[in-house]
Amino acid sequence: MSDATASFLPLGAIIQSLYVADTNIVLGFPSQKAYESHNACFFGETIGRVANRVKGAKIDSLNGGQSYTLAANNGPNNLHGGVVGWGKKVWDGPKPVGVREIPAFEGKSDKIDGGESVQFTLMSEDGDEGFPGKVEARVIYTVSKEKGEDGKEKVLLGIEYEAELLDGEVEETVINMTNHSYFNLTGGPSIEGTIITLATNQYLPVDQGGIPTGGPVPYPNPAVKAGNVPFTLGAVEPDIDDCFVVNEDPSSVPIDTRSLPLKKNLSAFHPESKIHLEVYSTEPAFQFYTGKYIDIPAVDGVPARKPRSGFCLEPSRWVNACNVPEWKGQMLLKKGEKYGCKILYRAWRE
Protein backbone atom coordinates (compact mmCIF):
# COMPACT_ATOMS: atom_id res chain seq x y z
CA MET A 1 0.00 0.00 0.00
CA SER A 2 1.31 3.46 -0.83
CA ASP A 3 0.64 4.79 2.68
CA ALA A 4 3.28 3.32 5.00
CA THR A 5 1.05 3.96 8.04
CA ALA A 6 -0.30 0.41 7.70
CA SER A 7 0.69 -2.81 5.95
CA PHE A 8 -1.26 -5.96 5.08
CA LEU A 9 -0.48 -9.51 3.97
CA PRO A 10 -2.33 -11.95 1.67
CA LEU A 11 -2.08 -14.64 4.35
CA GLY A 12 -5.23 -14.17 6.41
CA ALA A 13 -5.66 -10.65 4.97
CA ILE A 14 -3.54 -9.85 8.02
CA ILE A 15 -2.96 -6.38 9.43
CA GLN A 16 0.82 -6.57 9.77
CA SER A 17 1.45 -3.06 11.07
CA LEU A 18 -0.35 0.11 12.11
CA TYR A 19 1.95 3.00 12.96
CA VAL A 20 1.33 5.96 15.22
CA ALA A 21 4.38 8.16 14.65
CA ASP A 22 7.28 5.69 15.02
CA THR A 23 5.40 3.08 17.06
CA ASN A 24 3.73 0.02 15.53
CA ILE A 25 0.73 -0.51 17.82
CA VAL A 26 -0.17 -4.04 16.59
CA LEU A 27 1.75 -7.23 17.31
CA GLY A 28 3.09 -9.13 14.32
CA PHE A 29 6.03 -10.54 12.43
CA PRO A 30 8.29 -9.08 9.72
CA SER A 31 7.54 -11.83 7.16
CA GLN A 32 4.59 -13.91 5.98
CA LYS A 33 6.69 -17.04 6.53
CA ALA A 34 6.96 -16.24 10.24
CA TYR A 35 3.17 -15.92 10.47
CA GLU A 36 2.84 -19.35 8.87
CA SER A 37 5.10 -20.98 11.45
CA HIS A 38 4.48 -19.00 14.64
CA ASN A 39 1.04 -17.34 14.60
CA ALA A 40 -0.88 -19.63 16.94
CA CYS A 41 -2.28 -16.49 18.60
CA PHE A 42 -3.93 -15.17 15.38
CA PHE A 43 -1.97 -11.88 15.29
CA GLY A 44 -3.78 -9.52 12.91
CA GLU A 45 -5.83 -12.22 11.19
CA THR A 46 -9.17 -11.87 9.45
CA ILE A 47 -11.28 -14.40 11.34
CA GLY A 48 -13.98 -16.54 9.70
CA ARG A 49 -16.18 -18.25 8.90
CA VAL A 50 -17.26 -17.83 12.50
CA ALA A 51 -15.23 -15.82 14.97
CA ASN A 52 -15.05 -17.01 18.58
CA ARG A 53 -16.47 -20.37 19.66
CA VAL A 54 -19.13 -22.73 18.33
CA LYS A 55 -20.38 -25.12 21.00
CA GLY A 56 -19.38 -28.74 20.57
CA ALA A 57 -17.91 -27.93 17.13
CA LYS A 58 -21.37 -28.46 15.71
CA ILE A 59 -24.06 -26.38 14.03
CA ASP A 60 -27.25 -27.87 15.40
CA SER A 61 -29.67 -26.94 12.64
CA LEU A 62 -29.41 -25.33 9.20
CA ASN A 63 -30.98 -25.95 5.81
CA GLY A 64 -34.15 -27.61 7.02
CA GLY A 65 -32.87 -29.12 10.25
CA GLN A 66 -29.56 -30.56 9.06
CA SER A 67 -26.67 -30.54 11.54
CA TYR A 68 -23.04 -29.94 10.57
CA THR A 69 -19.93 -31.23 12.36
CA LEU A 70 -17.10 -28.70 12.40
CA ALA A 71 -13.39 -28.97 13.12
CA ALA A 72 -12.80 -29.08 16.89
CA ASN A 73 -9.69 -27.00 17.67
CA ASN A 74 -10.44 -25.59 21.13
CA GLY A 75 -11.21 -28.55 23.35
CA PRO A 76 -14.63 -29.78 22.21
CA ASN A 77 -15.43 -26.49 20.47
CA ASN A 78 -14.71 -24.82 17.15
CA LEU A 79 -12.64 -21.63 17.54
CA HIS A 80 -12.14 -18.89 14.93
CA GLY A 81 -13.29 -21.05 12.03
CA GLY A 82 -11.31 -24.20 12.79
CA VAL A 83 -7.84 -25.63 12.32
CA VAL A 84 -7.34 -23.74 9.05
CA GLY A 85 -9.77 -20.86 9.45
CA TRP A 86 -9.83 -17.87 7.14
CA GLY A 87 -6.95 -16.27 9.03
CA LYS A 88 -4.70 -19.19 8.00
CA LYS A 89 -5.65 -19.09 4.29
CA VAL A 90 -4.04 -17.03 1.53
CA TRP A 91 -6.42 -14.38 0.18
CA ASP A 92 -6.36 -12.82 -3.27
CA GLY A 93 -4.96 -9.31 -2.92
CA PRO A 94 -4.19 -6.62 -2.09
CA LYS A 95 -6.13 -5.15 -5.02
CA PRO A 96 -6.40 -1.34 -5.19
CA VAL A 97 -10.07 -0.28 -5.29
CA GLY A 98 -9.65 3.49 -5.40
CA VAL A 99 -10.14 6.12 -2.75
CA ARG A 100 -12.95 5.52 -0.24
CA GLU A 101 -14.25 7.74 2.52
CA ILE A 102 -14.05 6.94 6.21
CA PRO A 103 -17.70 7.02 7.31
CA ALA A 104 -18.98 9.20 10.13
CA PHE A 105 -18.60 7.65 13.56
CA GLU A 106 -19.82 8.27 17.11
CA GLY A 107 -18.70 11.75 18.10
CA LYS A 108 -18.00 12.87 14.53
CA SER A 109 -20.90 13.56 12.18
CA ASP A 110 -18.90 14.20 9.01
CA LYS A 111 -17.22 11.71 6.72
CA ILE A 112 -13.43 11.88 6.38
CA ASP A 113 -11.57 11.78 3.10
CA GLY A 114 -9.95 8.38 2.73
CA GLY A 115 -6.68 7.26 1.23
CA GLU A 116 -6.09 4.48 -1.23
CA SER A 117 -8.18 1.43 -0.33
CA VAL A 118 -7.23 -2.18 -0.96
CA GLN A 119 -9.39 -5.30 -1.15
CA PHE A 120 -8.68 -8.93 -0.31
CA THR A 121 -10.98 -11.73 -1.53
CA LEU A 122 -11.32 -15.34 -0.42
CA MET A 123 -13.34 -18.19 -1.91
CA SER A 124 -14.37 -20.59 0.84
CA GLU A 125 -15.61 -23.89 -0.56
CA ASP A 126 -18.60 -25.90 0.65
CA GLY A 127 -17.45 -28.01 3.62
CA ASP A 128 -14.55 -25.69 4.55
CA GLU A 129 -13.70 -26.82 8.13
CA GLY A 130 -17.18 -28.39 8.14
CA PHE A 131 -19.17 -25.22 7.36
CA PRO A 132 -21.85 -25.57 4.65
CA GLY A 133 -22.06 -23.65 1.39
CA LYS A 134 -19.60 -21.95 -0.95
CA VAL A 135 -18.92 -18.42 0.27
CA GLU A 136 -17.08 -15.47 -1.24
CA ALA A 137 -15.67 -13.16 1.41
CA ARG A 138 -14.14 -9.70 0.99
CA VAL A 139 -12.32 -7.26 3.25
CA ILE A 140 -11.52 -3.67 2.29
CA TYR A 141 -8.95 -1.66 4.22
CA THR A 142 -8.93 2.14 4.02
CA VAL A 143 -6.19 4.21 5.62
CA SER A 144 -6.62 7.91 6.28
CA LYS A 145 -5.42 10.71 8.53
CA GLU A 146 -7.46 13.32 10.36
CA LYS A 147 -6.40 16.63 11.85
CA GLY A 148 -8.24 17.00 15.13
CA GLU A 149 -9.44 20.19 16.78
CA ASP A 150 -6.47 19.80 19.12
CA GLY A 151 -4.15 19.97 16.11
CA LYS A 152 -3.02 16.37 16.58
CA GLU A 153 -2.87 14.13 13.51
CA LYS A 154 -4.94 11.00 13.99
CA VAL A 155 -4.41 7.77 12.05
CA LEU A 156 -7.58 6.00 10.84
CA LEU A 157 -7.88 2.44 9.58
CA GLY A 158 -11.32 1.49 8.30
CA ILE A 159 -12.28 -2.15 7.78
CA GLU A 160 -15.30 -3.31 5.79
CA TYR A 161 -16.33 -6.97 5.61
CA GLU A 162 -18.71 -8.54 3.11
CA ALA A 163 -19.64 -12.15 2.39
CA GLU A 164 -22.23 -13.88 0.25
CA LEU A 165 -23.42 -17.45 -0.23
CA LEU A 166 -22.90 -18.54 -3.83
CA ASP A 167 -25.00 -20.88 -5.94
CA GLY A 168 -25.01 -24.46 -4.70
CA GLU A 169 -27.11 -27.02 -2.89
CA VAL A 170 -27.43 -25.21 0.44
CA GLU A 171 -29.73 -22.26 1.03
CA GLU A 172 -28.11 -20.88 4.19
CA THR A 173 -24.91 -20.83 6.21
CA VAL A 174 -23.47 -18.88 9.16
CA ILE A 175 -20.94 -16.02 9.11
CA ASN A 176 -19.23 -13.94 11.82
CA MET A 177 -16.09 -12.07 10.73
CA THR A 178 -13.69 -9.89 12.71
CA ASN A 179 -10.06 -8.88 12.97
CA HIS A 180 -7.82 -10.37 15.65
CA SER A 181 -5.19 -7.65 16.04
CA TYR A 182 -3.38 -7.41 19.36
CA PHE A 183 -2.69 -3.83 20.42
CA ASN A 184 0.23 -2.56 22.48
CA LEU A 185 0.40 1.20 22.99
CA THR A 186 3.53 1.15 25.15
CA GLY A 187 6.21 0.32 22.59
CA GLY A 188 7.46 -2.19 25.17
CA PRO A 189 6.94 -5.84 26.12
CA SER A 190 3.80 -5.40 28.26
CA ILE A 191 0.43 -3.64 28.21
CA GLU A 192 0.80 -2.84 31.92
CA GLY A 193 -0.33 0.68 32.72
CA THR A 194 -2.72 0.99 29.78
CA ILE A 195 -5.93 2.76 30.75
CA ILE A 196 -9.01 1.09 29.20
CA THR A 197 -12.58 2.31 28.87
CA LEU A 198 -15.17 -0.15 27.55
CA ALA A 199 -18.50 1.07 26.19
CA THR A 200 -20.51 -1.38 28.29
CA ASN A 201 -20.22 -3.71 31.25
CA GLN A 202 -22.93 -6.06 29.95
CA TYR A 203 -21.42 -9.41 28.95
CA LEU A 204 -22.32 -12.99 28.12
CA PRO A 205 -21.56 -15.32 31.08
CA VAL A 206 -19.82 -18.49 29.90
CA ASP A 207 -19.05 -22.04 30.98
CA GLN A 208 -15.49 -23.35 31.39
CA GLY A 209 -15.23 -23.83 27.62
CA GLY A 210 -16.12 -20.23 26.81
CA ILE A 211 -19.69 -20.95 25.66
CA PRO A 212 -22.43 -18.56 26.84
CA THR A 213 -24.81 -19.91 29.48
CA GLY A 214 -27.36 -17.12 29.08
CA GLY A 215 -28.06 -13.59 27.95
CA PRO A 216 -26.29 -10.38 28.98
CA VAL A 217 -25.68 -9.58 32.64
CA PRO A 218 -23.42 -7.03 34.42
CA TYR A 219 -19.74 -7.98 34.41
CA PRO A 220 -18.75 -9.47 37.80
CA ASN A 221 -15.11 -8.34 37.87
CA PRO A 222 -14.94 -5.27 40.16
CA ALA A 223 -12.30 -3.72 37.90
CA VAL A 224 -15.02 -3.27 35.26
CA LYS A 225 -17.80 -1.90 37.42
CA ALA A 226 -19.69 -0.02 34.74
CA GLY A 227 -19.53 0.91 31.11
CA ASN A 228 -17.51 4.01 30.18
CA VAL A 229 -15.57 3.99 33.47
CA PRO A 230 -11.77 3.80 32.98
CA PHE A 231 -9.68 1.06 34.57
CA THR A 232 -5.97 0.29 34.39
CA LEU A 233 -4.36 -2.93 33.18
CA GLY A 234 -1.84 -4.26 35.68
CA ALA A 235 0.93 -6.78 35.21
CA VAL A 236 -1.48 -9.70 35.75
CA GLU A 237 -4.93 -8.33 36.56
CA PRO A 238 -7.60 -7.77 35.51
CA ASP A 239 -7.53 -10.95 33.43
CA ILE A 240 -10.34 -10.60 30.88
CA ASP A 241 -11.42 -12.74 27.92
CA ASP A 242 -15.13 -12.12 27.52
CA CYS A 243 -17.80 -11.04 25.06
CA PHE A 244 -19.30 -7.66 25.94
CA VAL A 245 -22.71 -6.76 24.51
CA VAL A 246 -23.49 -3.41 22.89
CA ASN A 247 -26.93 -4.30 21.50
CA GLU A 248 -28.91 -6.31 24.05
CA ASP A 249 -31.72 -7.16 21.61
CA PRO A 250 -30.37 -9.99 19.43
CA SER A 251 -33.51 -10.11 17.31
CA SER A 252 -32.83 -6.56 16.09
CA VAL A 253 -29.36 -7.34 14.65
CA PRO A 254 -29.41 -7.64 10.83
CA ILE A 255 -27.06 -9.96 8.95
CA ASP A 256 -25.59 -6.83 7.35
CA THR A 257 -24.85 -4.15 9.97
CA ARG A 258 -23.04 -1.75 7.61
CA SER A 259 -25.96 0.71 7.54
CA LEU A 260 -25.83 1.06 11.34
CA PRO A 261 -23.79 3.79 13.06
CA LEU A 262 -20.17 3.17 14.02
CA LYS A 263 -20.31 3.13 17.82
CA LYS A 264 -17.33 3.36 20.11
CA ASN A 265 -16.45 0.01 21.71
CA LEU A 266 -13.20 0.94 23.43
CA SER A 267 -10.88 3.80 24.32
CA ALA A 268 -7.30 3.08 25.40
CA PHE A 269 -4.44 5.33 26.49
CA HIS A 270 -0.95 4.81 27.87
CA PRO A 271 0.35 7.69 30.01
CA GLU A 272 4.03 7.10 29.20
CA SER A 273 3.83 6.66 25.42
CA LYS A 274 0.97 9.20 25.22
CA ILE A 275 -0.67 7.04 22.54
CA HIS A 276 -4.46 6.85 22.32
CA LEU A 277 -6.55 4.20 20.55
CA GLU A 278 -10.28 4.13 19.87
CA VAL A 279 -12.18 1.24 18.28
CA TYR A 280 -15.60 1.74 16.69
CA SER A 281 -17.87 -0.82 15.02
CA THR A 282 -21.36 -1.48 13.69
CA GLU A 283 -21.43 -4.81 15.54
CA PRO A 284 -23.67 -5.84 18.47
CA ALA A 285 -20.83 -7.17 20.65
CA PHE A 286 -17.07 -7.34 21.08
CA GLN A 287 -14.60 -9.73 22.66
CA PHE A 288 -12.08 -8.03 24.95
CA TYR A 289 -9.00 -10.14 25.72
CA THR A 290 -5.98 -9.14 27.80
CA GLY A 291 -3.60 -11.65 26.24
CA LYS A 292 -3.09 -14.17 29.03
CA TYR A 293 -2.16 -17.00 26.67
CA ILE A 294 0.32 -15.20 24.38
CA ASP A 295 3.52 -17.24 24.22
CA ILE A 296 5.51 -16.60 21.04
CA PRO A 297 9.28 -17.18 20.91
CA ALA A 298 11.75 -14.72 19.43
CA VAL A 299 11.66 -14.97 15.63
CA ASP A 300 13.15 -13.01 12.72
CA GLY A 301 14.82 -10.54 15.07
CA VAL A 302 11.61 -9.79 16.97
CA PRO A 303 11.79 -10.42 20.75
CA ALA A 304 9.60 -13.08 22.34
CA ARG A 305 6.01 -12.08 23.08
CA LYS A 306 4.75 -13.25 26.46
CA PRO A 307 1.41 -13.06 28.34
CA ARG A 308 -0.12 -9.56 28.33
CA SER A 309 2.13 -8.26 25.58
CA GLY A 310 -1.02 -7.16 23.76
CA PHE A 311 -4.79 -6.82 24.16
CA CYS A 312 -7.55 -7.59 21.65
CA LEU A 313 -10.81 -5.86 20.85
CA GLU A 314 -12.76 -8.05 18.40
CA PRO A 315 -16.13 -6.60 17.28
CA SER A 316 -18.50 -9.42 16.36
CA ARG A 317 -21.84 -11.13 16.76
CA TRP A 318 -22.86 -12.86 19.99
CA VAL A 319 -20.81 -15.97 20.77
CA ASN A 320 -22.35 -19.26 19.58
CA ALA A 321 -25.38 -17.38 18.20
CA CYS A 322 -25.67 -19.98 15.43
CA ASN A 323 -26.85 -22.54 18.01
CA VAL A 324 -29.23 -20.36 20.04
CA PRO A 325 -32.58 -19.95 18.24
CA GLU A 326 -33.28 -16.50 19.75
CA TRP A 327 -29.83 -15.23 18.68
CA LYS A 328 -29.36 -17.07 15.41
CA GLY A 329 -30.57 -14.45 12.93
CA GLN A 330 -27.51 -12.23 13.43
CA MET A 331 -25.27 -14.97 11.93
CA LEU A 332 -27.66 -16.56 9.46
CA LEU A 333 -26.67 -15.81 5.86
CA LYS A 334 -29.20 -16.86 3.25
CA LYS A 335 -28.73 -17.13 -0.48
CA GLY A 336 -29.32 -13.78 -2.15
CA GLU A 337 -28.35 -11.79 0.96
CA LYS A 338 -25.05 -10.23 2.00
CA TYR A 339 -23.31 -10.37 5.34
CA GLY A 340 -21.47 -7.17 6.25
CA CYS A 341 -19.99 -5.07 9.02
CA LYS A 342 -17.60 -2.16 9.58
CA ILE A 343 -14.80 -1.53 12.08
CA LEU A 344 -12.72 1.61 12.59
CA TYR A 345 -9.41 2.01 14.43
CA ARG A 346 -8.46 5.61 15.35
CA ALA A 347 -5.12 6.29 17.01
CA TRP A 348 -2.83 9.22 17.81
CA ARG A 349 -0.06 10.44 20.06
CA GLU A 350 -0.43 13.50 22.29
The catalytic site residues sit at 180
Task: Identify the sign of the CA torsion 75, 79, 85, 88.
Answer: negative
State whether residue 130 is helix, strand or coil: helix
Other CB atoms within 10 A of residue 271 CB: 13
The enclosing H or E element of 37 equals: helix 32-38
Q: Residue 281: exposed, middle, or buried by beta-carbon count in 10 A (0-12, 13-18, 19+)?
A: buried
**Torsion-angle region of residue 110: left (phi > 0), alpha (psi -120 to 50) or beta?**
beta
* Distance of alpha carbon 281 from alpha carbon 206, whole angstroms: 23
In whole angstroms, what is the distance from residue 13 CA to residue 1 CA?
13
Is residue 201 within 8 A of residue 240, CB to CB? The reply is no
Among 133, 48, 123, 134, which residue's Cα sits nearest to residue 93? 123
Tell me if 51 sits within 8 A of 126, measured CB to CB. no
